Amino acid sequence: MKHLIAMVLACVSAAASPAKADGAVTIDQLAWIGGTWVAERDGRWTEEHWTAPRGGLMLGVNRNGAGDLARGFEFLRIQTGADGVVTYWAAPAGQAPVPFRLTASSADSVTFENPQHDYPAIITYRRDGDRLQATIAGPGGVRPMSWTWQRR
C-alpha cells in the first residue's frame, strides 16, 4: 500500500510539473514574461507586450519612441521548435525573423543564443518582481545593451 501511495504521489507531482521528462524547458515555464511592460525616461518610451503561453507559442511586440512619435518596432515570438527546443524569433522593423535557441533558464531568467548572428548573438530576459529586464549582446557578451520595464 505504501508503494502504491508513493507511486500515485510521484505521478501527481510529475503531472503538475511543466518540465518535460527529458529536462527540456517548455513554453509554459516562461509564463513570467507574459504581460505589458513599459518604461519612460527623459521623454523617451519603450514598451513590450507578451501573450501568455498557449499551444507552444508566445507572441510579443515591442515599440519605442519619443513624445508622440513611434521610432521603432519589433515582432517577437517564442515557440517550441519541431526538435522540442524553445526558440525566440525576433523580427525588428519588419525584417525577416531570426531564431535564437534557448541555452539557459531558471525560474526568473532565460537566455537565447544564435552564435551565427552578428548582433545580437545573445538575448536574456530576467524578471525581478514587477520589473522585466532584457539584455542583448554580441558574441561572447560584448557590447551589452539593456532595457528595464515596469509591469503595467
87-96 per-position pLDDT tens digit:
999 999 989 9
Separation CA 92–CA 39 (nearest Å)? 19
Locus of grid cell 531570426: 98
DSSP assignment of 55-77, as one string? TTEEEEEEEEEETTEEEEEEEEE
Q: Which fold has domain 24-151?
A: Lipocalin (2.40.128)
Q: For the chain, give every domain's residue range.
A: 24-151
| Residue 67 pLDDT exceeds 80 | yes
The predicted pLDDT at position 4 comes to: 33
The predicted pLDDT at position 22 comes to: 53
The predicted pLDDT at position 24 comes to: 85
The continuous run of DSSP H or E covering 134 comes out as strand 131-137
26 backbone dihedrals φ, ψ, rounded to 5°: -110, 160
